[in-house]
Amino acid sequence: MREQEFENYLLEDKNIVSKVKAVRSRVNKARMIEKHFSISLDQIIADDHRMYDALIKIKAEMNDTNGNLSNALRKYYLFANGVPFPTLLDYKKGRIGR
């Protein structure tokens, strides 16, 4: 993960109100995902199939009931790729963004 660049990106995000706390939380959650899967977020977001699988596994394996972990990964995808990742249903139906 390009941690410092991601943090700067989040700090510039106008939708994030509580900058320091929210940014720190998202970066920490991104680190948790890397640790759980033993893979860099850059490798996950580079392939849409891997991204989809990671989002499914985050729900199942990491007990992401409130969506915070998935949100951190989705924010990283947006940061790195410049487009949001589609909903899981849209992706599954073949309506993919890139």
Tokens of 1: 């993960």
pLDDT at 37: 96
Mean pLDDT of the chain: 92
Judge if pTM exceeds 0.75.
Answer: yes
Q: How far from chain centre, in Å, is Cα 9?
A: 13
pLDDT tens string 68-90? 999 999 999 999 999 999 999 99
Asked if residue 29 lies in contact with residue 69, where contact means CB atoms within 8 angstroms, the answer is yes
The pLDDT-based confidence of 97 (bands split at 50, 70, 90) is: low
Percentage of the residues of the chain whose pLDDT score is greater than 70:
96
